Structure 1
Amino acid sequence: MCRQPHRGLTTWLLSGDSASQGLTVARMRITDRAGSVEPDDLGVHPGRDWFTVLTSTVVLYFGSRVIHVEVEAGQAASFSTMTPHPLRADRGPAAILCILDHNGERNHRHPDT
C-alpha cells in the first residue's frame, strides 16, 4: 500500500512482479475533492493511464485550460499521461481500478515502497 496524502491518493498494487508484462494493476482510493485546480496540480509523466471507476464519481482534469470530464461508477477512461492531469473525487471518496505501464507505476508508487 502506498499513501500519498499530499495528492489525496492511496494505492494498492494488485499484480505481482509485472516487469515481464510491462503492466501493473492497482486499486486507488481518491479523497481529494473536485473543485478548483491549481497549475501545480497538473502533473505529467510518460505513458498512458487506463482506469475504471468502482465507486462514486471521478473528475479527470485535462490540460492548461482545465477541461474536466466526469467518469461515473461503471465507466472507464484512458488517456495519454503527457497531457497535464489530476484526478479528483466528486460526491465523496472514489475507488478506481487502473492499469499502469512501467512509467505510470513508478509515478504512483511512493519512493520508499
Structure 2
Amino acid sequence: MTQGDGDLDSLVRKRLRALRVAQGWSLEELASRAHLSQSSLSRIENGQRRLALDQLVTLARALDTTLDQLVETATDDVVTSPTIDSTHGRMRWTVKADPGMSVVRQRLADPPPENPARMRAHPGREWLVVLSGTAVLMLGNRRYRLETNQAAEFPTMMPHAIGAETGLCEILGIFDRDARRSHQRDDDGEAQNSPE
C-alpha cells in the first residue's frame, strides 16, 4: 500500500492502533507478536513507514483479525431504511451482513400460515429472538409461541413460517449463509410465493 492510497492508508493505520489499544497491548507487545521491531511498528502506526502487504497480513493475524477486515472501507450506509412488504405486513432492516451470515430486524403484523404447503423450506439454519410483542413460529404442523426476549433456533429444511400472534411484533433474525441466500432471492423478487 502506498501513500497515494490516502484515506485508506490513514484508516488502516488508525485501525491498527485502535485494535492494539483495545487489546491492552503496548507497541512492544504487538511488535513481538508480529515479529517486527517496536520502532517499525511505531512508524507504521504514525505514518512514517510505508504499509507493506506482508506486514499487514502478519499484523492482522497478531491482532486476531483478517486482512479484509483491516482494509475494508465503509461502503455501507450508516443509516439504513427499512424494506416494506405491505402485502405480508412486514418491515425489515438489514442490521449486519457478511459472507457467512446476515442479521435482520423485522417488524411483523400478520400471523404465519398454518398450512405447511404454504411455508418455505430451504437449506440453512436460522435463529431468531423476539424484541417485542409475541411471535408465532410454525415448523411443519407444530406451532411455537415466542414472547419478548425468547429465542428459537431451527433447521430451515423443515417447512417454516414466522408471523405475529396479534398486533405487531419485532424480531431479530439471524441467517447462516445458505438461509441468507434464500432470503436474498425473495428480497430480489425471484421467489415471491413464500409468506415468510
TM-score interval (norm. to shorter): 0.7 to 0.9
Alignment partner, residue 43 of structure 1: 120
Alignment partner, residue 53 of structure 1: 130
**Structure 2 counterpart of 1:107, from 147, 169, 182:** 182
The alignment's TM-score, normalised by the length of structure 1, stands at: 0.81
Letter in 2 for 1:52: V
- Partners of 1:45 and 1:90 in 2: CA distance: 24
% of aligned pairs identical?
Answer: 34
Secondary structure (helix, strand or coil) at the match of 1:105 reads helix
Alignment partner, residue 87 of structure 1: 162
Letter in 2 for 1:54: L
Whether 1:8 aligns to 2:89 is yes
Quote the offset at 1:108 in angstroms. 2.7
- Partners of 1:56 and 1:24 in 2: CA distance: 22
- Partners of 2:182 and 2:91 in 1: CA distance: 13
Give 5+ residue unaligned stretches, structure 1.
none
- Partners of 2:111 and 2:124 in 1: CA distance: 25
Quote the offset at 1:105 in angstroms. 2.1
- Partners of 1:69 and 1:107 in 2: CA distance: 23
Give 5+ residue unaligned stretches, structure 2.
1-81, 190-196
Aligned residues: 106
Alignment partner, residue 96 of structure 1: 171
Tell me which protein shows more helix as a share of its residues.
2
Q: Contact 1:53–1:96 (CA<8 Å) still a contact in 2?
A: yes
RMSD: 1.9
Structure 1 residues 95 and 105, CA, compared in 2 at 3 Å: closer, same or farther?
A: same
Task: Provide, for residues 18-62 of structure 1, a one-character-per-residue CA deviation record: whole Å limited to 9, x for no partner.
Answer: 01xx0111101111125x623442111110110100011111111
Runs of 4+ in 1 over 4 A off after TM superposition: none
- Partners of 2:87 and 2:157 in 1: CA distance: 21
**Structure 2 counterpart of 1:75, from 144, 147, 150:** 150
Greater relative contact order, per chain length (Cα 8 Å cut-off, separation 6+): 1
Flag the structure with larger Rg.
2
The alignment's TM-score, normalised by the length of structure 2, stands at: 0.49
